[in-house]
Every structure is written in C-alpha cells, then in structure tokens.
Chains A and B, each alone.
Chain A
Amino acid sequence: DQQVKQNSPSLSVQEGRISILNCDYTNSMFDYFLWYKKYPAEGPTFLISISSIKDKNEDGRFTVFLNKSAKHLSLHIVPSQPGDSAVYFCAASRDSGGSNYKLTFGKGTLLTVNP
C-alpha cells in the first residue's frame, strides 16, 4: 500500500520557467512533510519541509504548498535551473509518541530542466 504517491514519474521544463512537482498521501496521521532531491550515485539531499499546521513554506526558489483536506502537497521551483535536474522525493512522517520519525517516501519524480 503506497501511502505517499508521486504520480508523475517525470517532468520536463524549460530553464527559467516554473517546475511544479506533486505529491499525494493517504495516511491522515502524517503531520510533517519533506522534499528531498537526489542525484545519481548520491544520497537524498534535504530541500524543504512543512508542518501540517502550515499551508505554505518558502525557501529561496523553493516553495512547498500543503492542502490537508485534499491530502496533497506540491513543490514549486521558480525559476528552474539546469542544475535542478534530479529525482525529487516527497516524504512524510508522523508523531507516533516516541522519538522515531521514520520517513515514508514516494517513488520520486525525475525533473529535467532544459537550457
């Protein structure tokens, strides 16, 4: 059962335009969401996160939007740059009452930014 879904395996955009990556989740207990970027042969790199008490978080060119009622979040990258080309993973965690905030990941979306 895929609790975090990234339904677009790939996305291609032109340099300078906006990239929008989408993520849906099914587990209503998730209350913290993160985006990671992964280059080939490297581990995931943290990009940005959002708590369920917010609906938007911004960090430079990256903005994450959360729609709790729809169980949907999106990552906006503006403007997109060729160096942004990578696989982007959406991840979620929940507060289970202990200290383990294990992440549940989607399958990832390959973003290609064309010069």
Chain B
Amino acid sequence: DTGVSQDPRHKITKRGQNVTFRCDPISEHNRLYWYRQTLGQGPEFLTYFQNEAQLEKSRLLSDRFSAERPKGSFSTLEIQRTEQGDSAMYLCASSLEGQGRGTQYFGPGTRLLVL
C-alpha cells in the first residue's frame, strides 16, 4: 500500500497530557498538509510543508501545537497540554509538486479524544 499512512489511528488522553501523531506521505510527494476535522464540520487547514520547510501555519495552530517534517519525509504533529477542545480527527494529506495544483491525497486520520 503506497498511500498516506497515519499513526496512531486512535488516541485517548487526559487533559494536560502531551500527544504526538505521525504522518507518512506518499513517498515521492514533497508537499504535506495537516488538517483538523471536528464533528459536523469539514476539514480545516492547520499547516503546510514543502519538503522540510514549514511554510504556513493557520491561526488555529496555537502555541501548544508544533509540527515538524525532518528531512522532508514523515511529519509529526505534537499537541502539548491537551485540552478537551483539541478532540478532533487530525488528517494528513500529501501532494506532488510539478503536477500543477497537485491533488491532495489524505490519510485515514488520527482520532483524538481528550478526557
């Protein structure tokens, strides 16, 4: 399977704990996006990487959130001091530069529940 993968698929944590999610994009894709989806809403953009460079962060990404993409391959999204409002589905997508806009292909997501 050469699609986008995300780990873990589910995470339950207590308020105040730190959590980290991982995304492995399609291997040749150099563009990587993180989105967040809450109940009844469409996915909302969080941040964008081109190769290893983080080029844009949404206002939704508070100081408690940090994302990295070392070496331009996999990416991690960390949430520190989780709050109940962080409960959501976190989606990763990747696309290939050079194909115009490049269709974004999504992973299965990580569902976070903060108790």
Interface positions of A (Cβ within 8 A of B):
4, 32, 34, 36, 41-46, 49, 89, 91, 93, 98-108
Contacts and interface: CB of A to CB of B under 8 A. Distances in A.
Interface residues on B, range: 20 to 34
Given A41-B111, A43-B109, 14 more contacts: A4-B42, A36-B106, A44-B106, A46-B106, A49-B103, A91-B42, A99-B50, A99-B55, A101-B95, A101-B102, A101-B104, A104-B45, A105-B44, A108-B42
Interface of B: 4, 6, 31, 33, 35, 40-45, 48, 50, 55-56, 91, 93, 95, 97, 101-109, 111
Nearest to A98: B55
Contact of B4 (A43, A49, A98, A104): A43
Contacts of A89: 42-43
B56 A102 contact: yes
A108 B42 CA distance: 6
Nearest to A9: B40
A46 to B, nearest CB: 5
Given A43-B108, A99-B55, A100-B48, A34 B97 contact: no
B106 A43 contact: yes
B103 A46 contact: yes
